[in-house]
Structure 1
Amino acid sequence: MNPLEQIDRYQLTENLKDLEEGIAGLRRLVARRPSPQLFSSLGNALSMRHDAFARPDDLQEAVHWHRQAVAALDGQPGLAEAQAQLAPILWHLHHREEAQALFEAALRGTLEDRSLVLTNYGWALHMTFMETSDRADLLRGLEVLKEAVEATDRATDRYTWRLARYASALFAEVADPARRAELNTVLETIRQRYPAASEPVKRQVQVLVGFMLAMGEVPEIPQEAFDHMANMPEDLTEVFGTGREAQARLLAMNSSVLIEDVRLAGEVQRANDAVEMFRQALSALPDDSPSLPEILGGLGAVLGLRMEMAGTTDDLDEMVDALRRACALARPGSGIYGMVYSDFGNSLALKFRLGGGLKALDEAIAAYRQAIALVPEHPELAMAMTGLGAALTYRYEVTGRLAELDEAIVHHQAAVDRTAPDHGHLALYLVNLGSALQERYEATRRTEDTEAAVAALRAAVAATPVGSPSRPSHLASLGEVLATRYQVTGQSGAMAEAVRYHREAAETVDEGNLQRLQVLNSLGRTLELSGADPAEAIAVFRTVRAGARPGSSFHRNATVNLAGALLDRAMTGRAPVRAMAELIADLFDDRPRRRRFLGLLSARQAPSGGTPELDEAIELLSEAAKEGLPGTSDVYSRLGLAMRLRYQLTGEPRALTRALRTMRAAVSESGTDGASRSVALFYLAETLRDQWQLAGDERVREESLLRYRQAAEEESASASWRATVGQKWGEFAMEEDAPADAAAGFGAAVAALDEAAWRGLGRADQERILQEYEGLGRDAAAAALQAGDARAALELLEQGRGVLLGQAMDGHTSLDLLRSVAPELADRLAEIHHSQEAAERLDLTEGPDAPHRLDERPVLARRRREALAEIRELPGFEDFLRTPSSRSLLTAAEDGPIAVLNVSRYRCDALLVTADGVRVLPLALTAEQAQAQADAFVAALQAQDLTGIQDCLNWLWSVVTGPVLDALGPTHRIWWCPTGPLTLLPLHAAGEALDRAISSYTPTLRALISARDRARGPRAARRMTLVGLTETPGAPRLEGVSREIQAVTEHFPDVVELRDGDATHDKVIAALTQNTWAHLACHAVQEISEPAQARLLLHDRPLLVRELAAQRLDQAELAFLSGCETSRGGTVLSDEAINIAASLQLAGFPHVIGTLWPINDTHAPAVAAEFYTVLTAGGTSPPDPAAAATALHLA
């Protein structure tokens, strides 16, 4: 038989006898009549025998005969065919440069089946990429394989299997959106052609793209590839070989597809199937198989995914062992090398988190560094980078070394930067980046870090589809950062968001997901911070602790958090009321919890003694303290707090002794963490205070004052915490008759107020926070007066009152001088102020962009701080927008004396401010008496009790107004600056005050200075906004409005008149911004218990006091408010001047006329007519706003 026919028959029957006889016959033919065609045929036959028996000599001899064919055909027809047959064998033997040159030369020549050569060449390039990760090979391979597909007849089966090869290679570029779209198109074509394909082609499709079937990219087809390896077509056996090694190589080649399928599916059963597949492949391989790294790496990866999905740690040791072996076997520079080291790092990091100790963490960091350093362009590089970042963050949490956290953020950012926007792992990288940035913020209080953290985490949540198994943990991470924002800044919207995200996360996380414990722990912390009932937080923490492995970070955190929630419960309703009142107001920095606890003052006293919650909290905290892990300072602080509460409940000195010892340990363990140190020092000061009261040791008293000071001076603690600490320090010092210490303590608290109610908050949050420190400025001034420093008292009073007013005035400050020196800085600050005012106006409206608003205000506040820091470095601008000194404040008295009436629980005084200085006049009243008279006056007004009103006025004259005017002597003008309850009383109307001086009011001295400065500026042509509502929907008719409007227009003809139906909200706002004067004759409402709800009643809807304050009326001159109680403040936030008149002054009117009580519609027109008559000298001269007080006095 002809040897060539025997070889053909072998290919059909796989009868090895035919192959052996064919090779022998070809040798004889070559010896008798050598030719290039016979050389090639003999080479091909020897290659077939190598595939059957794996004898290296056969392959070397095959190369010899193919080389002979190439040499014989040099320059002749048939050369390209000979080159194409030699090239794959040389590639298999790793002579890749020569093989590539032969492929390229063959493709330039004439070929019988060009598409087959293109397919072999493209696949060889792709397989080289799989080993080396050289992307140039991948891109060239894709180019060649695509050309092969396009050159193949679509009517043949060859088109289908070449498409499958192209799809398999395309998967390496799946992160590229364009490539992924092309892959989906190719797979759809395969899906359509598959049913009609022959069985051999179907088997090739299964081999090449079978692992994509589970992801639904191609039809579900029984995976029979491994059963047909012996019958694989020749071109595949050249690459893979046959038998068990071929099976393993096929699985290894597609392991990344299988792993990604498991990750995307998020199903335990899918993970189980993948684990079993890898285990079977592993058991079938010899110890020296080159495919072991891929199989071991795949097994480790899917074991890790299965643990995450199932919520168990049973596979931990097998996972770590598999990946350790994979790393040991992987060849440096191979495609698998970086991936297995990255996964090995992941497994060790998980082992550390589950209680594996620092050795596991250090080994994880080393593995990540290996993955990054030796394979810089590996496809898993971003995953290795973020893994290293996470591990460095864990180590920072252990060591406290900030450099490690800085490096972690660099790696997380690098992972994000190198990842496409629609890549499936981007959300994970963003979460890791955001979490690390927040860690650094909590260490350094650099607000740009928390801003970036929120932005990254919002982007991560947006990139994670609903239903993804990762979404709950991403939501929890965002919720944690927002909860911290609330804790530090008081932004209530952030807490509302945090609770919402945490509840969604807890409701959607799978029961068996390993992340469930972390999600629930975050939910419990947020509930605790929100001031909710501790019962739900206790239940959540118990669930976490029961499900966490003892010794793991989850278990320890749950233990500490559970103890904290139990301590909350122990402090709620079971301790004696007096002890609770002393303890609760100052021991927690989150304000809602303090407010809830202060409500216990009205509760009935409970029997003393321990509580089950307190006993369990002490037991749990003692257990956590013994571990000596990071965060021990906070554990000791809580334990000391619990022991102090036990002392409060039982009176046992031993409990106090242990509390004191534990508090000292908390200070010692706090290290460089300033915020934790401040907490520990404060708790120590409080406990020393108890010890002083118990034993009377003077040294204990002195140390207590020292510890308060140290706690208040810790700048990294939140502003609200420092304000609370300073206030407690001042109170203790006043109790101990140490006014200098008290002034320092209260002064520290006052200095923190502006930051506590910072510009990054909405107005409602600012008002809520300031309400918690009601009277702080007055107490600070009283302490300074007690210490004999009147000027310091004036400064403290000015700084501690009118905080919101001062912030708004900063935004209205003229920047002309700054612009002449540094125009860029002036423009930047002006832009920031305008943006802050716009944000304030937006806060008054509802909309879908609430998260954006929450994030924008802190950014603006930070930018303002940065701009001010630059401005204050300029010569002559060192005090730019700082709190004025007493010397500057004295300029407020240039037109007449100012009586600043300070009402404090410690003493009451009038600070008589003149251009020459400050004189102190002690007043014969107490804060309680002042409050009682204010309450009586308000009640008398409401009841129209003229006798009661007169009684209050008589008292006011005898105790306040009379003594002040007597002390000042004859004076034509006086400005009253009342504080506290005196803001509700008509000082100017008491006794002989109307006869002895023309009175005006100012909320602060700075407000008076600012109003005068604005009044001196250039003004537009005088034009009045005249608003009058005879009929107001839902309110009584005002008969006198028409007469009042007529009286005004007689003396002020240039008006924009808005009457009744035209007096709408938007029209009035627009007119106020365009005109310089305003007269408003309408109903006004002042909610005395909620002054922020003060409003003018217009035709369509009310105009709120906050809306007025948010305007910027640069050309305004004078506003006349002919409505009820437009100048009266409230019983809360009395020192913030929250009323309609003050809001108009804040908006820009230097002169505002208002009322302190309800006015009679009958008299209002007459007063207005007389006022404008006097102001214009009977219509003979233009109105002079500076004469407004005189005109009103005479009217």
Structure 2
Amino acid sequence: MSLAVSLTPQNDPGLLGLLNNTGTVCSSLYEETGNLSHLETAVLYAEQAVSATPKNDPDLTKRLHNLGLRLLRRYERIGNLEDLDSAISMVEQAVSVLPEGHYERPSYLNSLGGLLLNRYDRTGNRGNLEAAILHTAQAVFNTPNDHPDISIWKNSLGDRLFRRYQRTEDMDDLESALLNTTQAISNTPESNPHLATCLNSLGNMLSSQYEETRNMDVLKAAISSMRKAVQITPKGHSNRARLLSNLGLFLFRQYEKTNDKDIFNDALRTAKSAVVETPKNHPDLAKYLSNLGDVLFCSYEQTGKIEDRDSALSLFEESTKCPTAIPVVRVQAARRAIRILLTLPMWERACELAQDAVKLLPSVCDRSLDRQDQQHAVLQTAGLASDACSLFVRTGRVSQALQQVEFGRGLILGYLIDNRSDASALKKDHPVLADEFERLRLLASQPIDDVIEPRARDHFINGRTEAHRQLEDCLDRIRRHHGHERFLLEPTLDELLQCATEGPIIVVNVTSISSDAIIVSSSGCKAINLPEITSSQDSVLANAFGMSSSKDGYREKHVRDIKSEREVTTKYSVGFLSWLWKVCVKPIFTELDIAPSAEPPRMWWIGTGVASSFPFHAAGLYSDESREDTLSLTIPSYTPTIKSLVYARSCAARNSDKHAEASVLVVAMPETPGQKSLSGVIEESKAIQKALGDASKVEYLEKPSAKEVMDRMRQSDIVHFACHGSSDSANPSDSHLLLQTTTLEGPSLDKLTVQAISEKRSLEKARIAYLSACSTAEVKDGQFADEALHIVSAFQVAGFGHVIGSLWSADDETCIQVAKLFYEYLAQDGRRNATNRVIAEALRYATQEVRTGRDPILWAPYIHSGA
């Protein structure tokens, strides 16, 4: 047929049909043999057919659809994202042309759903998954039950609902997925080639149901379904390796439960077959290599056979080097390999793998994703950067250790900062390019409205994705200009060191590999080992000082008065702060030769992992005989990352008080719907007014809505919140300050969330945010610790160079006193245009004043974060 195509004149009316039919034949040959050359020919002929078809030809939609499917197959085989995007574009065009009720529309909708599911797999963008479900549900809804392809659409819907279950763990989705797929199988004849796909879907669903129920009969049913799918799929078929890998995984799970050696051998043999039958450049090869590696490493743990361990290590390393694989699969394979290398030990090799994996993190958590998708992405790689840091410290490469932990932590925070970073220098040198950058940056960072109509949401996501691509191209062009080569790139080592000119930056990195402090100064960085801190102490430390855990996230309904908790926590607090001083802070101070001084040095703290919640500022010996503590010797501050410190300083410099009179917004919530009243809030507000006197113009908002506050913040140098606060463990971006809105039914709770604050723009005057509320600098879920997404960091992103927050619940009475002393210090003569140092000093002064004779539980939660 290829010869017939080549011999047919271009103006022959039969050429278009010949191109289309020849492409279909080549596509079928590829499905049967897996030979890539057949697929390339199919794509070529499909492209020629589309380009030669007039726009008004009724067959154009069919040819667009065919081309989309061919490009999808090539994407699945090679992994080129451009093929997938082009495929989506082709099928979207076809769907847009077909009217409602057209007999081919369900087929095209189902195909579009499959394409979007593939893009979800690659990018993690949940919007693509929801659109895939929507389009496929429409295909099912618009297809009669006696239609020959209804089983295909139903299985597709089941598969896409199952994928949402894997993301959300909503059992309703799993049940709906099983219902649709079992109906599809019951209506699919044994001779139908689509049956294997249905059986594969059913096997995956049953396997997940087994994970929920631990019912062995369910796992056996999954194995039976998958085994049948393998049996009816001929060797050489493009989908056979995937079926084999799934079967091997299910058998391995059965072995873990039964310890039956015959089942293990079957699992090993099947997993090996999946690898053997997969072409070397196939995107899924990395996954199959990792699955086989898991089986072999389990064998090593059971038998001690060194060759199994070495084979597993080799497979994991090979998986990390598959360039077309989904990035998160490569990262997970690297972590498996590192785990083995640590036991040998082979530190240098582990460092290389860790460094390569850290480089992949921005691909796992892409800046084009919305916030929820980014949070989901970082959960899959939590702790990797800290592990890499430990490895590099272990091998004596401290500078590289610092770069690893700086590059791989705070990804989401870094993207938010990039969306707001100052481009004035670029605008001065290249105004046209700067305007293009600002336009694209705004388009690419627009939040996705959850209530937007589904079809419009789909197009919005596509448009934002395209804006991100154009933005990356724009950044490439910017970086070609002299003086802008590192525009919005991560800081170099020299730039990181330069950040320590105002005082040392201490990174306390705690992992299962080691615990170390990296001391960053303007002259270089060095590490000291902290052997008495181990990550295995996590639960002990949480019990000792993590006074913010509760099942519903509302401890005592957010009361700032924590007297009810004091009996539980007092016995831990002084002992913990003493322990932290002895094993961590004092060795660092000794290394830095810090001694009592009339002008104590400034110091910034960064904790990773379990150390991210350590109160370094409050560490010390608090017996009557001793006064060794952090506050007495330094002016302590915190920063999530060095990059965020640079940003905070730029905001502080840009928004420094240029006038004698500062504008202060005080937000007070003495009563909050559904929460306990805060009796001290009114007194706190009056204390602030009295402390500032005529030095500032104070505006007072009582019981405002989130919108009112956001509107008023634009005109304020200082914002002070006296209210309840909540840290959300499952969704850090939903951590919030509790405000109030008015409805027809009366007052109701309103939330000023991390996401809303961090997306706020145009805060030209923002300088200090004082958050007199509970847990505003707390991240409850340890897996999110290295992202530092909390209320304090949100205000920093919004443009406040200085933020006062709390690590845990704050006592109502102490809140009043600390706030009063803080503002009194700022309002003293000569301090109206307070420097960065003076603002940090103000909190230190206030804390030192109130801590005398008080339990640290009361005075220690308050921290300064930023410049």
The TM-score bracket by the shorter chain reads 0.7 to 0.9
Equivalent residue number for residue 1192 of structure 1: 843
TM-score (norm 2): 0.82
Equivalent residue number for residue 1059 of structure 1: 701
Q: Secondary structure at the match of 2:714?
A: helix
Question: Taking structure 1 as reference, are residues 403 and 433 closer, same or farther at Cα in structure 2, changes over 3 Å only?
Answer: closer
Q: Secondary structure at the match of 1:976?
A: strand
Question: Taking structure 1 as reference, are residues 844 and 704 closer, same or farther at Cα in structure 2, changes over 3 Å only?
Answer: same
Q: What are the equivalent positions in structure 2 for 1:1103-1118 lying under 5 Å apart? A: 1103-1112=752-761, 1113=763, 1116-1118=766-768
Equivalent residue number for residue 327 of structure 2: 719
Q: How far has the Cα of 1:953 moved from its partner?
A: 2.8
Q: How far has the Cα of 1:1042 moved from its partner?
A: 3.5
Question: Taking structure 1 as reference, are residues 1050 and 368 closer, same or farther at Cα in structure 2, changes over 3 Å only?
Answer: farther
Q: 2: CA distance between counterparts of 1:1052 and 1:392?
A: 80
Q: Give 5+ residue unaligned stretches, structure 1.
A: 1-362, 574-596
Q: Secondary structure at the match of 1:1059?
A: strand
Question: Taking structure 1 as reference, are residues 1054 and 412 closer, same or farther at Cα in structure 2, changes over 3 Å only?
Answer: farther
Q: Secondary structure at the match of 1:761?
A: coil
Q: How far has the Cα of 1:480 moved from its partner?
A: 0.8
Q: Which amino acid in 1 is paired with 2:591? A: A
Question: Taking structure 1 as reference, are residues 875 and 715 closer, same or farther at Cα in structure 2, changes over 3 Å only?
Answer: farther
Q: Residues 736 and 754 of structure 2 are in contact (CA less than 8 Å); yes or no, is this contact kept in structure 1?
A: yes
Q: Secondary structure at the match of 1:513?
A: coil
In our comparison, the structure showing a higher alpha carbon Rg is 1
Q: How far has the Cα of 1:924 moved from its partner?
A: 0.5
Structure 1 residue 631 corresponds to structure 2 residue 631 = no
Q: Residues 1040 and 1162 of structure 1 are in contact (CA less than 8 Å); yes or no, is this contact kept in structure 2?
A: no
Q: Secondary structure at the match of 1:627?
A: coil
Equivalent residue number for residue 855 of structure 2: none
Q: How far has the Cα of 1:780 moved from its partner?
A: 2.5
Q: 2: CA distance between counterparts of 1:448 and 1:1106?
A: 31
Q: Residues 1087 and 1093 of structure 1 are in contact (CA less than 8 Å); yes or no, is this contact kept in structure 2?
A: yes
Q: Which amino acid in 2 is paired with 1:474? A: Y
Question: Taking structure 1 as reference, are residues 820 and 412 closer, same or farther at Cα in structure 2, changes over 3 Å only?
Answer: farther
Equivalent residue number for residue 957 of structure 1: 581
Equivalent residue number for residue 725 of structure 2: 1084
Q: 2: CA distance between counterparts of 1:1047 and 1:528?
A: 60
Greater CA drift, 1142-1151 or 1126-1135: 1126-1135
Equivalent residue number for residue 1171 of structure 1: 822
Q: What are the equivalent positions in structure 2 for 1:654-673 lying under 5 Å apart? A: 655-657=263-265, 659-671=267-279, 673=281
Q: Residues 1032 and 1060 of structure 1 are in contact (CA less than 8 Å); yes or no, is this contact kept in structure 2?
A: no
Equivalent residue number for residue 814 of structure 1: 422
Q: How far has the Cα of 1:872 moved from its partner?
A: 4.7
Equivalent residue number for residue 150 of structure 2: 516
Q: 1: CA distance between counterparts of 2:491 and 2:830?
A: 41
Q: 1: CA distance between counterparts of 2:136 and 2:76?
A: 20
Q: 2: CA distance between counterparts of 1:506 and 1:1090?
A: 33
Which protein has greater RCO, CA pairs closer than 8 Å, 6+ apart?
Answer: 2
TM-score (norm 1): 0.61
Question: Taking structure 1 as reference, are residues 1099 and 563 closer, same or farther at Cα in structure 2, changes over 3 Å only?
Answer: closer
Structure 1 residue 997 corresponds to structure 2 residue 628 = no
Q: Secondary structure at the match of 2:721?
A: strand
Q: Which amino acid in 2 is paired with 1:1175? A: L
Q: Deviations over 1:715-735 (max 9, x none)?
A: 221122222222222223234
Q: Deviations over 1:212-235 (max 9, x none)?
A: xxxxxxxxxxxxxxxxxxxxxxxx
Question: Taking structure 1 as reference, are residues 432 and 1042 closer, same or farther at Cα in structure 2, changes over 3 Å only?
Answer: same
Q: 1:1015 aligns with which of 626, 639, 652?
A: 652
Q: How far has the Cα of 1:608 moved from its partner?
A: 11
Q: Which amino acid in 2 is paired with 1:892? A: C
Aligned-residue CA RMSD in angstroms? 3.5
Structure 1 residue 529 corresponds to structure 2 residue 163 = yes
Question: Taking structure 1 as reference, are residues 558 and 787 closer, same or farther at Cα in structure 2, changes over 3 Å only?
Answer: farther
Q: How far has the Cα of 1:1194 moved from its partner?
A: 1.4
- How many percent of aligned residue pairs carry the same amino acid? 26
Question: Taking structure 1 as reference, are residues 425 and 510 closer, same or farther at Cα in structure 2, changes over 3 Å only?
Answer: farther
Equivalent residue number for residue 943 of structure 1: 565
Q: How far has the Cα of 1:678 moved from its partner?
A: 1.5
Q: 2: CA distance between counterparts of 1:1017 and 1:407?
A: 56
Q: How far has the Cα of 1:1064 moved from its partner?
A: 3.5
Q: How far has the Cα of 1:394 moved from its partner?
A: 4.3
Q: How far has the Cα of 1:853 moved from its partner?
A: 2.8
Q: How far has the Cα of 1:682 moved from its partner?
A: 1.9
Q: How far has the Cα of 1:509 moved from its partner?
A: 1.7
Question: Taking structure 1 as reference, are residues 869 and 407 closer, same or farther at Cα in structure 2, changes over 3 Å only?
Answer: farther
Equivalent residue number for residue 689 of structure 1: 297
Structure 1 residue 1026 corresponds to structure 2 residue 676 = no
Equivalent residue number for residue 617 of structure 1: 226
Q: What are the equivalent positions in structure 2 for 1:738-1137 lying under 5 Å apart? A: 738-818=346-426, 824-837=432-445, 839-840=446-447, 842-843=448-449, 846=452, 849-872=456-479, 879-915=486-522, 916-939=524-547, 943-945=565-567, 946-970=570-594, 972-991=601-620, 992-1017=629-654, 1021-1022=658-659, 1023-1034=662-673, 1035=675, 1036-1037=677-678, 1038-1047=681-690, 1049-1050=692-693, 1052-1054=695-697, 1057-1060=699-702, 1063-1088=704-729, 1090-1100=731-741, 1101-1112=750-761, 1113=763, 1116-1132=766-782, 1133-1137=784-788
Q: Secondary structure at the match of 1:514?
A: coil
Q: How far has the Cα of 1:1043 moved from its partner?
A: 0.7
Q: Deviations over 1:1167-1195 (max 9, x none)?
A: 33432332343366533344211122112
Question: Taking structure 1 as reference, are residues 666 and 875 closer, same or farther at Cα in structure 2, changes over 3 Å only?
Answer: farther
Q: How far has the Cα of 1:1090 moved from its partner?
A: 4.3
Q: What are the equivalent positions in structure 2 for 1:457-536 lying under 5 Å apart? A: 457-530=91-164, 531=166
Q: Residues 1127 and 1154 of structure 1 are in contact (CA less than 8 Å); yes or no, is this contact kept in structure 2?
A: yes
Q: Secondary structure at the match of 1:1039?
A: helix
Q: 2: CA distance between counterparts of 1:1180 and 1:1025?
A: 15
Question: Taking structure 1 as reference, are residues 645 and 986 closer, same or farther at Cα in structure 2, changes over 3 Å only?
Answer: closer
Q: How far has the Cα of 1:977 moved from its partner?
A: 0.8
Between the two proteins, the alignment pairs up a number of residues equal to 790
Determine which structure has the larger helix proportion and give its number. Answer: 1
Q: Deviations over 1:129-161 (max 9, x none)?
A: xxxxxxxxxxxxxxxxxxxxxxxxxxxxxxxxx
Q: 1: CA distance between counterparts of 2:833 and 2:186?
A: 81
Determine which structure has the larger strand proportion and give its number. Answer: 2
Q: Residues 819 and 826 of structure 1 are in contact (CA less than 8 Å); yes or no, is this contact kept in structure 2?
A: yes
Q: Residues 819 and 825 of structure 1 are in contact (CA less than 8 Å); yes or no, is this contact kept in structure 2?
A: yes
Q: Which amino acid in 2 is paired with 1:1128? A: E
Q: Deviations over 1:265-294 (max 9, x none)?
A: xxxxxxxxxxxxxxxxxxxxxxxxxxxxxx
Question: Taking structure 1 as reference, are residues 709 and 383 closer, same or farther at Cα in structure 2, changes over 3 Å only?
Answer: same
Q: 2: CA distance between counterparts of 1:481 and 1:973?
A: 54
Q: Which amino acid in 1 is paired with 2:145? A: E
Q: Secondary structure at the match of 1:611?
A: helix
Q: 2: CA distance between counterparts of 1:948 and 1:1147?
A: 36
Q: Deviations over 1:1017-1046 (max 9, x none)?
A: 476845534132254441525222431441
Q: 2: CA distance between counterparts of 1:408 and 1:1058?
A: 70
Q: 1:677 aligns with which of 266, 279, 285?
A: 285
Q: 2: CA distance between counterparts of 1:440 and 1:567?
A: 24
Q: Residues 743 and 784 of structure 1 are in contact (CA less than 8 Å); yes or no, is this contact kept in structure 2?
A: yes
Q: Which amino acid in 2 is paired with 1:634? A: R
Q: 2: CA distance between counterparts of 1:649 and 1:609?
A: 13
Q: Secondary structure at the match of 2:739?
A: coil
